[in-house]
Structure 1
């Protein structure tokens, strides 16, 4: 399978003082997964096999609930093409 990009924004329904700690747990999951990623101010973009990335998205929901969220709203963007797509090819000229 070819490389894809998936951007994930999680919005856990928790008290205001718990939002960042819960989001930090999701970012920790992404870090530990071994996929390439970039944390942005509104979402984290990952690069890897689509099945792996979608599994991370699924696990992110579970983390939010396990951390006390009564609900999780997630925004997911997927960039996929059969020959693969990388973050570098899209943003390298801006770095």
Structure 2
């Protein structure tokens, strides 16, 4: 299967002072995947096979709960096309 882009925003239900530490643990999970990713101010975009990315989404929920969230709301966006899609093709021109 071709590479897709998946953007993930997790909104863990924790006290305000715990939001960033919990999100940091999710970012560590994404980093450990070895996949290409980019952290943004509102979400993290990851590039890879769809099944692998969806598994990361599932694990992200578990990380939030393990870190003390009583509930997790997640917003997911997927950019898919049969021949594949990359982050570079979308944003490289803005980084030159």
> Is TM-score (shorter-chain normalized) higher than 0.5?
yes
Q: Does 1:69 align with 2:69?
A: yes
The alignment yields a C-alpha RMSD, in angstroms, of 0.4
| Large movers: runs of 4+ above 2 Å | none
- Secondary structure of the residue aligned to 2:45 is strand
What is the rounded CA distance, in whole Å, between the counterparts of 1:90 and 1:71 in structure 2?
33
Q: Does 1:44 align with 2:44?
A: yes
Q: Aligned-pair distance for 1:90?
A: 0.4
- Secondary structure of the residue aligned to 1:5 is strand
Q: Aligned-pair distance for 1:2?
A: 0.3
TM-score in terms of structure 1 length: 0.99
What is the rounded CA distance, in whole Å, between the counterparts of 2:16 and 2:25 in structure 1?
16
**Gapped runs of 5+ residues in structure 2?**
none
Map residues 4-83 of structure 1 onto 2, 5 A cutoff. Answer: 4-83=4-83
**Gapped runs of 5+ residues in structure 1?**
none
- Counterpart for residue 2 of structure 2: 2
Q: Aligned-pair distance for 1:41?
A: 0.2
